[in-house]
């Protein structure tokens, strides 16, 4: 089976992945949500994230709040950081299409594209996203960092799953429709 790039994140009802200051305290994950995330990540062995997401993740590791992702190959896409291996991840700053093609050419599970914003826009612009996995929280932030900043062509998706949770959140899974 072909490996897929899955763009996944949690958002508010008004489409924000984080507060203006990067805070994600509004994304409450209960045991039901944790089980859904564990199931999702059981099918993932590679993750790609941007520099800002990686910086936040490194802070979570230092504070002991980060989930254990040992055994997962992690790439950080950055134009600012020097390419090369670092503490548990590899910084890359070349072509996204070449990166994805290289990963997909190797055997393995699916590829998680973490976070929205500029990296999501770049992947959507280059049509590299095969699925969307979005958790929608039951609140309006009113302001924040948008999940999908504009400036990419229309991309069509087919709904694969819509699941409601006891805390009022909804899990959505879409497959990219090409052609």
Q: Which domains does the chain have, with CATH numbers?
A: 5-151 (3.40.430.10)
For β-strands 44-50 and 156-164, DSSP reports them as unpaired
Check if the beta carbon of residue 72 is closer than 8 Å to that of residue 46. yes
Check if the beta carbon of residue 169 is closer than 8 Å to that of residue 33. yes
- pLDDT score, position 62: 66
- pLDDT score, position 64: 65
- pLDDT score, position 24: 86
Report how far residue 55's alpha carbon sits from residue 49's, in angstroms, rounded to the nearest whole number: 10
The pTM (predicted TM-score) of the whole model is 0.90
Rounded to whole angstroms, what are the CA distances from 57 to 32, 105, 126, 165, 167? 23, 27, 25, 26, 25
Report how far residue 50's alpha carbon sits from residue 48's, in angstroms, rounded to the nearest whole number: 7
- pLDDT score, position 63: 66
Chain-centroid distance of CA 144 in Å reads 17
Report how far residue 106's alpha carbon sits from residue 164's, in angstroms, rounded to the nearest whole number: 35
Chunked into runs of 10 residues, the chain (179 residues) has average pLDDT values of: 92 94 84 86 92 69 63 89 87 94 96 86 95 95 91 94 93 95
- pLDDT score, position 50: 86
């Amino acid at each position: 089976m072909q490996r897929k790039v899955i763009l996944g994140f949690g958002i508010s009802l008004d489409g924000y992945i984080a507060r203006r200051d990067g805070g994600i305290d509004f994304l409450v994950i209960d045991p039901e949500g944790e089980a859904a995330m564990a199931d999702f990540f059981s099918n993932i062995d590679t993750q790609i994230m941007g520099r800002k997401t990686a910086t936040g993740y490194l802070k979570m590791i230092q504070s002991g709040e980060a989930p254990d992702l040992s055994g997962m190959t992690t790439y950080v896409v950055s134009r600012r950081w020097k390419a090369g291996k670092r503490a548990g991840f590899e910084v890359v700053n070349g072509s996204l299409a070449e990166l994805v093609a290289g990963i997909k050419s190797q055997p393995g599970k699916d590829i998680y594209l973490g976070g929205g914003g500029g990296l999501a826009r770049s992947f959507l612009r280059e049509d590299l996203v095969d699925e969307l996995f979005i958790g929608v929280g039951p609140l309006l932030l009113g302001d924040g960092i948008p999940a999908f900043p504009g400036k990419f062509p229309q991309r069509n998706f087919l709904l694969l799953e819509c699941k409601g949770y006891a805390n009022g959140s909804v899990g959505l899974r879409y497959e990219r429709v090409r052609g």
